[in-house]
Structure 1
Amino acid sequence: MARILVADDDVDIRELVEFKLSTLGHEITAVADGQAAIDACRGDRPDLAVLDVMMPGVSGLDAIRAIRADPALADLPVILLTARAQETDVENGFDSGADDYITKPFSPRELASRVEALLARVV
């Protein structure tokens, strides 16, 4: 079981991701924006974070940059989950430090598979 942070301003997506990952036995912390994601990571470091890119206030890209800049969190695995699917968007996501990039709409099964694969690589 891993502790996973999920940050998405869309409550339906957040609850879907939370439900799917919790059925795999993971402990989920769900937040609605990038600043809350940064604060949650600093407060109780998760094993993995799933961040939406477009959130109010602090975006997922800004959140991942803050996470990478924090020595205690720099190696935290992060998956970006976003509707931004252009090649430049994907490139910006990886340039910001993402370990994986999943576009919406997404398959909950694919998300679960990618989470499990990333956790297997870092454990």
Structure 2
Amino acid sequence: MKRLVIADDDDVALAFLKAKMGQRGFVVTAVKDGAAALLAVASIKPDMVILDVMMPGLDGFEVLRQLKANPATQGVPVVLLSARHNVADIARAKALGAADYIIKPFVSDAVVEQLQELAPGGTTAVQRKA
């Protein structure tokens, strides 16, 4: 089973993604902030990480930067989620090494399919328009 860490301070989004990705066969660890995400990634060694951009403490960009700077985690796909549809934020995410940047709110089944495709072993590579 693939391991997944999801960090989002929005309880509804976190519960939704945890349930949906769990139904798709992922073992999901859900946390509510960036510092907890870094700890979870270090202990769980997930196959993929999903980060909300705007979280208390360390935001998603900083967590992404730290994950990509660490040789032990730099190869793990990281997807950022945000309610901000800002071209500069999308460009920053890609420059930092994000596998994708998904705008909230998202269509439930569509986002789950996208995330499954981005996970290691997914059937296709998903390209998002900036």
Q: TM-score range by the shorter chain?
A: over 0.9
Aligned partners of 1:72, 1:121: CA distance in 2, in Å?
Answer: 21
Deviations 1:69-90 (A, max 9, x none): 1110010101111112111111
Within a 5 Å distance, the mapping from 1:4-83 to structure 2 comes to: 4-83=4-83
- Tell me the CA shift for residue 121 of structure 1: 4.9
The SS at the match of 1:81 is: strand
Comparing both structures, which one devotes a greater share of its residues to helix?
1
| Contact residue 3 and residue 44 of structure 2 kept, 8 A | no
CA distance 1:118–1:13, shift in 2 (3 Å): same
Aligned partners of 2:43, 2:5: CA distance in 1, in Å?
Answer: 12
| Contact residue 81 and residue 104 of structure 1 kept, 8 A | yes
Question: Aligned-residue CA RMSD in angstroms?
Answer: 1.3
Equivalences, count:
122
- Tell me the CA shift for residue 67 of structure 1: 0.4
| Contact residue 84 and residue 90 of structure 1 kept, 8 A | no
Instruction: Structure 2: give runs of 5+ residues left out of the alignment.
Output: 124-130
The SS at the match of 1:80 is: strand
Letter in 2 for 1:13: A
Deviations 1:41-83 (A, max 9, x none): 1112100001000000000000000101111001010111111
The SS at the match of 2:102 is: strand
TM-score w.r.t. length of structure 2: 0.89
Aligned partners of 1:20, 1:108: CA distance in 2, in Å?
Answer: 8
Aligned partners of 2:32, 2:93: CA distance in 1, in Å?
Answer: 19
- Tell me the CA shift for residue 25 of structure 1: 1.5
